Structure 1
Amino acid sequence: MGLQRPVEPFHRPYAGPEPPSPARRPRRLLVLLVAAAAFAAAAVAVFLVAPGKERGGTDRAAVTPRRPAPQTSAERIVEALPPPCGTVSAGTVAKAVPEAAKRHSANSTLTTCTYSSTGSSFRWLRVEARLYARENTATPVRDAERYYDARWAQAHDAPLVRTIALERQSGVGDEAYRWFKADEGQPTVVGEVTARIRNAVFTVSYSERAPDAAEQDEREREILATATAAAREVLAALNDF
């Protein structure tokens, strides 16, 4: 038997690691990249749409300035009463009560002025104004509403008065009513208009001698028209204060 040849070590040449094939790249990484791209695209779309208009052309509230809220009645209240005999014009007084003598009284919340005829004790024009001032109450308009409501209720059950007509009056202040009445036991009739403008309530009363029955309808219209004309002048004066 001959001698065996010694085994020589095998030296393999060095080669670097092979890169993975595209088909073997991790799927999780691919999914994350796609999601990130979609999120970025959505963010850009929101940024571009927000400053403009929504679909359909409607302006968005974020870029359209809001109109200021309208003032409330409480913010537009009457701050002071005009002079007691300074609300009805001289022409209106002269037509209603020729050659009138006047008496008046006034404080910060209540004024009265009475024009009396020097030739007849039955003919007179009286203006009363009452103010619910901001410094005296936290709810000036609501207080004026309550007082007006009380006057309206009292007119339905007034003692010593015969009511001929009592109805709401439109176009004078925030709310108003007119009242045509006869004084029991006196030969007089009175046309009266009571109105509220925000936190002020005023009453205009005009009196004449009671007419004959045949003339009552005509005189009722004329007397109420005189009281209403004077009330509109009072309203205009209060709107200036």
Structure 2
Amino acid sequence: MDLRWEELDGKAGWERLAPGVGRRRLPGWDATAGLVAGAHGALLYDTGSTLREGAEIRTQAQTLLGRRVTHIALSHPHFDHVLGTGAFAGAEVYAAADMDALLTSQRESLTQDAVRQGVEPGAATEAAELLAAPHHPVSGERTVDLGGGRTVLLANLGPAHSGHDLVALVPDPAGGPGIVFCGDLVEESGEPQAGPDAVAGRWPQALDRLLALGGESALYVPGHGAVVDAAFVRAQRDALARRFRVS
């Protein structure tokens, strides 16, 4: 199933990556929201920074799909990637193991971080309050079947950029190059950010696993910025190893 790109062609930052696969570069922090369509289901990778942004993504995804998003995968627990989740009532939500407890216990700090970065306090508070714990923890790898031969492999590669990094590999049903949604394990529009929850010493190892998962021919979709190739990911891996003095 392909998406109705003519409905949003050149609008709102949507980009077609392959038949049935696309993403939007969101305003503000240039975060990625990925969309994968199968015959019976649709998966959204990350949901934006507020309920308003999540609702906008939901409406646009329904325009592209002709139906609603059924599954959500959250790349990691930073506000610009998760606070739109409350706009997707009824969707099955996947995240790295133990992220459910983290999002429940740290709503206040998540709200404060969003406000520090420029989100209006009321919007940040509302989004955090409606952020339900993920239903499906991923501790290793887990495959989501969207129907019609379309599957998404979710892999827990953290801790690295955060304590809970989840990537999504979308294989080509025809055997061509896959697409890997990387979250903030990879960044193109700026230097990779290491906040207080980063485990810097394990970040290069996580990128080694990412490259093994996607292979040389895959398209790698960063958490922020333009789509890159394996050579870019490898160069960023080596730069992080030098930065944090790990092998």
- Shorter-normalised TM range: under 0.3
TM-score, length of structure 1 as denominator length: 0.27
Specify the structure having the higher radius of gyration (Cα).
1
Query: With structure 2 as the length reference, what TM-score do the two structures score?
Result: 0.27
